[in-house]
Amino acid sequence: MNPDVTQSECEVISNRKVGAYHHLTLAAPAIAEHAKPGNFLAISIGDMKSSMLLRRSFAIYQTVPRGPFGGTVEIIVAPHGPGSTWITQRAPHEKLDVVGPIGNAFKIPKDPVRALLVGGGYGSAPLFALAETLRQKNSRVEMAIGAATADRIFAPVEGKRSVHSLMIATEDGSSGAKGRVTDLFDNSLSAIDIVYACGPMGMLRALTEIGARAGVLVQCAVEESMACGVGLCMTCVLPVQDKDGVIKMLRSCIEGPIFDGSAVQWNAIGTIPPGTYGAHR
């Protein structure tokens, strides 16, 4: 478990709509102080009488360790179901029960690299802080973002300043190139040293396959459902092969959410593959 994780009552500082999403800023000094690109939050839903018992998890978009509120954390929320919709309805000064920062972080090379950051929908959110970190290492940072429609592209103006180039693809052609974001690479990553990706499982799998053909490492932030966020419920497990070739069911909230894409058994997501360590024979 992330050694810096805390449970805090966080005040909503602002909540504004950005395209199809909501951008929330929370006063969370303890979390902001320790959060790294790739970490996430788990937020309690409703009040004491709520039937929504499980927390909802959200990748951290940005943090400001110091400021008028002591430190703030920003998240991007897509109102898909009752839980995420409830969060998008929170007004300034309301309080949220938040656990974070949770999970591991993207691994940052010591030396400058040519990095490609790929986001699907609001999966691009945690990549902007990562871009800033890579730029501080004098790396060249390119970004590609894809979504079904233009309103589901999350690419804030301030974020665009963090990258050397930005490519956009939408499935309906309403913004950027028409097609999927993985179509932008034409199965080639010849000018890239490392890929960082966050988005739907299908996108992560496709990028891993492209990376394997090019001999490029792909770090994937997986989007598994996380019910507890602290490794107890085991709902977010997925099959991952270790360095010895052994497949283990790892928890996205503890051992992840960042995994080497080549180690994830994409064909077996949602199952326990034969030969998995500890599985019933």
Residue percentage of the chain with pLDDT more than 90: 79
Tens of pLDDT, residue by residue over 234-275, are 889 999 999 999 999 999 999 999 999 999 999 999 899 988
Residue 151 pLDDT class (50, 70, 90 cuts): very high
How far apart are alpha carbons 194 and 183 in whole angstroms? 18
Peptide bond into 65 cis (omega under 30): no
Residue 234 Ramachandran class (φ > 0 left, ψ -120 to 50 alpha, else beta):
left
| Residue 183, both tokens | 């179509």
Q: Could you give phi then psi for residue 200, rounded to 5 degrees? A: -60, 155
Residue type, 199: G
Res 155: pLDDT: 82
Tens of pLDDT, residue by residue over 45-73, are 987 777 777 899 999 999 998 888 889 99
Mean pLDDT across 222-227 = 82
Res 208: pLDDT: 96
How far apart are alpha carbons 7 and 55 in whole angstroms? 12
Going from the N-terminus, what domains does the chain have, and what CATH number goes with each?
A: 6-102 (2.40.30.10), 114-268 (3.40.50.80)
Q: Tokens 């409830």, residue?
A: 86
Residue 260's alpha-carbon distances to 35, 98, 205, 207, 277, in angstroms, are 21, 28, 11, 11, 19
Res 207: pLDDT: 96
How far apart are alpha carbons 27 and 33 in whole angstroms? 11
Residue 66's alpha-carbon distances to 29, 41, 71, 135, 182, in angstroms, are 8, 19, 5, 21, 37
Q: Tokens 């691994």, residue?
A: 107
Res 53: pLDDT: 79
Res 280: pLDDT: 63
Residue 3 burial (10 A CB sphere; 0-12, 13-18, 19+): exposed
Above 90 in pLDDT, residue 179?
A: yes
Of 33-37, 187-191, 221-225, 258-262, the least confident: 187-191
How far apart are alpha carbons 220 and 118 in whole angstroms? 10
Mean pLDDT across 65-91 = 93
Above 80 in pLDDT, residue 227?
A: no
- Evaluate whether 239 touches 249 at the Cβ level (below 8 Å): yes
- Based on C-alpha coordinates, what's the Rg of the chain? 18
Q: How many CB atoms lie within 10 A of CB 221?
A: 28
Could you tell me how far CA 130 lies from the centroid of its own chain?
11
Residues contacting 19, CB < 8 A, separation 6+: 150, 151, 152, 153, 154
Res 42: pLDDT: 94
Mean pLDDT across 91-100 = 97
Above 90 in pLDDT, residue 3?
A: no
Strand partners, 59: 40
Mean pLDDT across 68-94 = 94
| Residue 22, both tokens | 């909501």
